[in-house]
Amino acid sequence: MRQPASQPFRPRVIGHNDHNVVVAVRTHHESPKLKSGMSDLRQVEELLPGLSRGEKALLLRLVVQDLDDAFPGIDSTPGVCGGEPCIVRSRIPVWALEQSRRLGISEDALLHSYPALRAEDLVNAWAYVRSHRTEIEDQIRENEDA
């Protein structure tokens, strides 16, 4: 059902859950629903131009929030290194790599010191540090005090 010509169509971001951003079409007289037969991404692409700046900011915030814990190559497992974020396939905590970097140890030296470590692992670790600076600084401080 299309809206009357007197009221322009205006899609709205109306909700989300903890795992997915849900974008729905809401017109003046309709209940929210997704169009059938289209991929979710395609629907978002079509709805995006009609969203206000505030709605786009909300959508972006929801996407970033959904991706916040998605750091490839970094894993936090309860019972492994106290649940601290580590490089996958290893027990090398991200905080230890960051502390080494702060102490002036080069990436080449880190790769040589940890044979299982790859350059890609360091890239992932540095990205994690940038996004979780306070957490990493707290872990460094806790381990210095221990």
Q: Band of the pLDDT at 100, cuts 50, 70, 90?
A: very high
Start-end ranges of CATH 1.10.10.10 in the chain?
A: 74-145
Q: Tell me if the pTM is above 0.85.
A: no
Model pLDDT, residue 31: 36
Tell the burial category of 95 from Cβ atoms under 10 Å away from its Cβ (0-12, 13-18, 19+): buried
Q: What is the pLDDT of residues 40-60, one digit of tens each?
A: 888 888 888 998 888 888 888
Q: Which CATH number describes the domain made up of 74-145?
A: 1.10.10.10
106-128: burial string, b at 16+ Cβ within 10 Å, e else = eeeebeeebeebeeebbebbeeb
Q: What torsion, rounded to 10 degrees, do the Cα atoms 40, 46, 4, 10 define?
A: 90
